[in-house]
Structure 1
């Protein structure tokens, strides 16, 4: 296959990718313990945590599929989700963040272990592991599909390249490498987004004035929609987005691991709150790119238009972006940066969940604790193993329907809702014990499956923003009702 990028673009791409590996190797010498490898010795500055939080939740799905939302009928209304994200972050800072800074916790789900017991902790951790690796495998696929088109490599090889580069710098550098690479990658993809704004408008006949006329004629800049039945409504965005964020940023190991890497609870809270406003601006940027693309393609009349909305931005990069100027290389680096920032965080947090929620407790119970160097080596091997798993998922993800961002959000909604329901049972009630919490989680999962696969047959569809709320409320209600049949065990402790 022939490559769609020139030598200058390739140099930009290689420099961006090579710097990630170099930084990982540079920081590898500081990882002398598992805590240093997984938490950066709890010494990272708040602004670096801020950059890492934003970059971690920004995958290739944001860079490519969010413009797809702006390109389609949704327009700028997807921005309502980001409003809910800010509300959710405030709740996390006020109610959940203090739980993680009691003592020296290393995993989000250790809180559930203290409150309910080991089985609830492991159940939540397992839900996280399944959802995280499946969702991030989908995100890897989207990055690989663009690399396949631009560079001309087959999809499996493209997924392998993105995955292996990320595995290498995560394996050597640990959490420090992940966080500092996240900050660099955040700058790269934001530069790519800003550059795209000007490149696209320069290719629209009539420029900015024609763009504004198109937006006004097609109602593309409407942000608020109070129709309950809309795909992205104000109510779904604010309430659904808030509950999704409470789950993804309040109970997800990948995010909690960043808070625990901060120097203090105050620094962690500052980083988390500020990240909400940065994400709002970031969503506005990439949604507006989609609106610009809609204006451009409304006049282009091309026969080879992509079938899916989340492929339109990549199509523009390939066919319209000026070649061999470094801009295509910058955009490809931005797409890879978004993918690698999420993937590296996923590998590190997945390894952390297995080590802290399964390996260490099991070995301690058997009175066969691993030596520190053996535990560090095992943690690194686990990161590699999860990386290979996500590569395999990415290679097979082309068989999925719908847009990749919708699939990823559905998975996040499932897991975030169930785990958030468990945390709510632990924090808001005293009578719920381990067995009742597990019954609630199982019941919430069944209801989500019914809502996703059975309800649409009766013309009743729950949109993506409501999934986390549905899962959390159903888990809480079923668990609380079950507690009247199976009261809390004597050893259950209160989490407040």
Structure 2
């Protein structure tokens, strides 16, 4: 039976690589490699955005969170994400599309200069390397569980290397087109997997199981505890989820090249906006589906804790059910869906990091004009370089414990505020120049490092007082505020720049 599951997974890996290469075609230019010449259908881009941000962290952590104490809090968080993505669609995407950019950070070069573009790009690739290292390690969790069913005790390091090699094949050859098409297929697979799990669990627990979960507060969406300490430290407090979540989404989807690159691959500005807003709506549906899996798993397991079930953490609950609670072949397909989530986020990260390295760092700091075929070769070389480094960093994270989803959010907190703040500084403070922006950017990263690592808030729960870190959603607005204040203050120490005639925007060809 396990051999059949393994066969399903192997077939899936071969087919997904073939689909990516088949649909991407031969890459003829660096622009084709990075943004598909701006000709991708909006719905595939929408699905690619969702697959890019989902990863294994969502697939295993959201059911685990709903099982324990979060309920449907991620759906509440998604409402804030929809608001933030709508703002990005209206305010930032027109700048990128009309400028004909292949990178979000080209706007920073246009507004401030190439040095800030380089600083932002270096910050992006370093942060993405850390965050994707966590994601890549998370993807090894269900795979290790599967291999243990065969009595094979294979370490996380071997699994990480093999998964990276499989993903880099179609990413290296097919560029962004291969990434987007495979993302769309992979998103469909893991979402169908969640629906199948819901149907099977419903068959096991029946109406009484739904009722038990409902009365145990597993379906709670809104956290209405408005205590200040709770709001500042809990990601699912209502103001944190809506306000903090909206600003977080503005940073993650408006200033992070990982997402912006996909949006730039659409045919028109309107298509880009539909893909961005549509991704927020689909993410809310996806969060609801995975939260429902967690609630039904709670009924299925009789409310037992992960430790009582012999599991190390809540992240193991959904993979464990897939392997032991589903029929043969179906369980193989669902594990393949988890692999799809892992490969989707990994391939997206590799392509966007190669893009940013070539478009924002190498091309910006090279005095001579680089031929396009050379840029294409450099893009492929950097894809391989980042793949190796990603695997190394993932192995470094293999010793971490706890919820991997929250670990990734904390990593983003170091830099997302500075990235979004730089864009807003360019839009809101007209007298700010490149020196102001670079100083504000560097100061913000330093301040946010102290906030993430040092600042704690005392929270009293059931009579016991504990110290907690600031919720990840508040890290972005704090960083944005620091950037705007520092950049605004330094801009007062020099004369306002002379007005320059506006440049005519360059429309991207349909």
- For Structure 1 versus Structure 2, the TM-score category normalised by the shorter chain is over 0.9
For residues 490 and 164 of structure 1, do their structure 2 counterparts lie closer, same or farther at Cα, with a shift above 3 Å needed? Answer: farther
Stretch moving more, 448-457 or 157-166: 448-457
C-alpha distance in structure 2 between counterparts of 1:251 and 1:28, whole Å: 26
1:289 equivalent to 2:293? Answer yes
Q: In structure 2, which of residues 313, 322, 333 is the aligned counterpart of residue 308 of structure 1?
A: 313
C-alpha distance in structure 1 between counterparts of 2:100 and 2:166, whole Å: 32
Q: In structure 2, which of residues 243, 247, 258 is the aligned counterpart of residue 243 of structure 1?
A: 247
Stretch moving more, 459-468 or 130-139: 459-468
Match in the other structure for 1:115:
111
C-alpha distance in structure 2 between counterparts of 1:300 and 1:377, whole Å: 54
Match in the other structure for 2:488:
480
Partners of 2:415 and 2:448 within 8 A in 1: no
TM, length-normalised to structure 2: 0.90
Please, what is the CA RMSD of the aligned residues?
Answer: 2.1
Give how far 1:120 is off: 1.1
1:211 equivalent to 2:215? Answer no
Q: In structure 2, which of residues 319, 330, 338 is the aligned counterpart of residue 335 of structure 1?
A: 338
1:173 equivalent to 2:174? Answer yes
C-alpha distance in structure 1 between counterparts of 2:132 and 2:362, whole Å: 23
C-alpha distance in structure 1 between counterparts of 2:392 and 2:501, whole Å: 41
Partners of 1:432 and 1:487 within 8 A in 2: no
1:298 equivalent to 2:299? Answer no
C-alpha distance in structure 2 between counterparts of 1:289 and 1:146, whole Å: 16
For residues 487 and 285 of structure 1, do their structure 2 counterparts lie closer, same or farther at Cα, with a shift above 3 Å needed? Answer: farther
Match in the other structure for 1:441:
441
The residue matched to 1:362 in structure 2 has which SS? coil
Match in the other structure for 1:358:
361
CA offsets, 1:408-457, max 9 Å, x none?
11122332221001111001111211121122222222322222222227
CA offsets, 1:47-93, max 9 Å, x none?
11111111111110010011121112111122211000100011011
1:318 equivalent to 2:323? Answer yes
For residues 378 and 112 of structure 1, do their structure 2 counterparts lie closer, same or farther at Cα, with a shift above 3 Å needed? Answer: same
Stretch moving more, 394-403 or 336-345: 394-403
Stretch moving more, 281-290 or 298-307: 298-307
Q: In structure 2, which of residues 465, 468, 477 is the aligned counterpart of residue 469 of structure 1?
A: 477
For residues 113 and 247 of structure 1, do their structure 2 counterparts lie closer, same or farther at Cα, with a shift above 3 Å needed? Answer: same
Match in the other structure for 1:52:
48
Q: Which consecutive residues of structure 1, in runs of 5 or more, have no partner in the other structure?
A: none
Stretch moving more, 272-281 or 149-158: 149-158
TM, length-normalised to structure 1: 0.93
Give how far 1:303 is off: 4.3
Stretch moving more, 438-447 or 381-390: 438-447
Stretch moving more, 9-18 or 55-64: 9-18
CA offsets, 1:231-290, max 9 Å, x none?
211111111111111111111112111121111111110111111110000000111111
CA offsets, 1:349-380, max 9 Å, x none?
101101111112233x2x2x333322211111
Give how far 1:487 is off: 5.3
1:344 equivalent to 2:347? Answer yes
For residues 491 and 8 of structure 1, do their structure 2 counterparts lie closer, same or farther at Cα, with a shift above 3 Å needed? Answer: farther
For residues 225 and 358 of structure 1, do their structure 2 counterparts lie closer, same or farther at Cα, with a shift above 3 Å needed? Answer: same
For residues 210 and 362 of structure 1, do their structure 2 counterparts lie closer, same or farther at Cα, with a shift above 3 Å needed? Answer: closer
C-alpha distance in structure 2 between counterparts of 1:399 and 1:246, whole Å: 32
Match in the other structure for 1:393:
393
C-alpha distance in structure 1 between counterparts of 2:76 and 2:501, whole Å: 38
C-alpha distance in structure 2 between counterparts of 1:482 and 1:493, whole Å: 24
Match in the other structure for 2:151:
none
Partners of 2:417 and 2:480 within 8 A in 1: yes
The residue matched to 1:75 in structure 2 has which SS? coil
Partners of 2:20 and 2:181 within 8 A in 1: no
The residue matched to 2:360 in structure 1 has which SS? helix
C-alpha distance in structure 2 between counterparts of 1:26 and 1:199, whole Å: 34
The residue matched to 1:30 in structure 2 has which SS? coil
C-alpha distance in structure 1 between counterparts of 2:391 and 2:35, whole Å: 25
1:125 equivalent to 2:126? Answer no
